[in-house]
Amino acid sequence: MRFLPNPSAFVAYNVNPVADQFQRAFQTSTFCNRLYSFFNKRWFFDQVLNDFLVRSFLRFGYEVSFEALDKGAIEILGPYGISYTFRRLAERISQLQSGFVVRRVRYDPWPPAWWGAAPPLWVNGKPDSTNPRKGCTAVVRALRPELFVVLAGMQVNESHPLASEVLTLP
């Protein structure tokens, strides 16, 4: 193998005359010439590939990966999505509050008020003991600053004209 430093050079030197004869026979034959010209016109296959494969891949790449995933994630996680999420959260929380004090008593974080264990409501300086649960369930229909009503052990001014709005729940 000392006389052949590169075996591929030997193969190329011996195959080249055979390949040249095959190429001449291929170009002079009518069938081979038509086959060669058919495969040489790439636009036949390019049109089919563009219509069926490339266009569908491009549509998938734009509609699915860009519009749905990238753009959707940016809208959900970006400033618009954050503001929309907080707006919806505020709407849901505001639906919990109707404006009545009874709703505030029900969601009071002080557990004895839930169980009716709050001290009795004081009316005109005396504890009202007619209803043991009256202290935690006395509420006002509408919040008005001029009506002096405070729950859980404070005084109710019964002589005030709006004191009739104090309710007791069963």
- Total domain count, the chain: 3
Mark whether 46 and 75 lie in a shared domain: yes
Mark whether 53 and 111 lie in a shared domain: no
- Reference 155, options 127, 122, 126, 130; nearest CA is 122
pLDDT of residue 25: 81
Mark whether 13 and 67 lie in a shared domain: no
Q: What confidence category does residue 2 fall into, taking pLDDT thresholds of 50, 70 and 90?
A: low
User: Letter for the amino acid at 19?
Assistant: A
pLDDT of residue 18: 78
Residue with tokens 């970006």: 78
Mark whether 28 and 63 lie in a shared domain: no
User: Letter for the amino acid at 73?
Assistant: A
Q: Residue 79 forms beta bridges with which residues?
A: none
Mark whether 88 and 119 lie in a shared domain: no
pLDDT digits (tens, 9 = 90+) for 69-86: 777 777 777 777 788 888
Residue 19: is its pLDDT beyond 70? yes
Residue 150 contacts by C-beta under 8 Å, 6 or more apart in sequence? 156
Alpha-carbon distances, residue 142 vs 83, 149, 162 (angstroms): 31, 11, 10
Question: Greater confidence, 19 or 57?
Answer: 57
Mark whether 29 and 55 lie in a shared domain: no
CA 71/CA 156 separation, integer angstroms: 58
Alpha-carbon distances, residue 168 vs 15, 133, 137 (angstroms): 109, 9, 6
Mark whether 162 and 112 lie in a shared domain: yes
pLDDT digits (tens, 9 = 90+) for 143-164: 433 333 444 344 445 555 545 5
Q: Which range of residues forms the domain containing residue 69?
A: 42-96
Mark whether 91 and 135 lie in a shared domain: no
Mark whether 34 and 2 lie in a shared domain: yes
Of the residues 70, 96, 122, the one at which a domain ends: 96
Of the residues 78, 96, 114, the one at which a domain ends: 96
pLDDT digits (tens, 9 = 90+) for 25-56: 877 888 888 887 777 776 667 777 788 888 88
